[in-house]
Amino acid sequence: MRILGRVVPVKYAAGAAAVLLAISGSVAVVATTSFDAKPPPHVAVPGVSAERLAEGGISLSPASAAEASVTPDSAVRAGSVLGLSKVRGTVLAQLHDSSSVPNIDRLVWVVSFDPTGSGRSAGGPFDPDKERVGVPVAWSIAFVDAVTGDRFSVHEGGLP
């Protein structure tokens, strides 16, 4: 390849061109993209988006079922203190909750309940006859320790 009338081996051509651009007063920006780059894996929870959970400092990643000693049915029973009975789904995940002090990192069953028609509200008491007092809860999830079976956290929100 020729740059400024000189023969430059191809393997040095990109670097030589960048130097030439820099010398001439232009700015060269070289960016590389890895086509193998993938977003970190996450666990889908029925009824609530990963983005909504992330707003609360919660991330869920895949986990091995071999590590869980609690069954999904037991997790549903442990998490059902919300007074809700319709289960949207149950998933096993590694929970990282950065909003807790100290942070929580543990293997959990995530039990997602359908709060439709429960009268539950987020942001204050929900009164359909009043304006903007609260919004109906759109999702309710309980975290149940997959080793001990203890429910240790419940989260609800007005937007999926």
What are the boundaries of each domain within the chain?
A: 1-36, 50-157
Q: How far is CA 24 from CA 4, 29, 51, in A?
A: 12, 14, 46
Compute the distance between CA of residue 84 and CA of residue 73 in angstroms, rounded to an integer.
15
Compute the distance between CA of residue 79 and CA of residue 111 in angstroms, rounded to an integer.
7
Helix (H) or strand (E) segment spanning residue 78: helix 72-79
Burial class (CB in 10 A: 0-12, 13-18, 19+), 50: middle
Q: Quote the tokens at residue 97.
A: 């909750």
pTM: 0.68
pLDDT, tens digit only, all 160 positions of the chain: 545 555 545 554 455 444 444 444 444 334 344 445 555 677 899 999 999 999 999 999 999 989 899 999 999 998 886 678 899 999 999 999 999 889 999 999 999 999 887 777 776 655 566 655 667 888 899 999 999 999 988 888 877 6
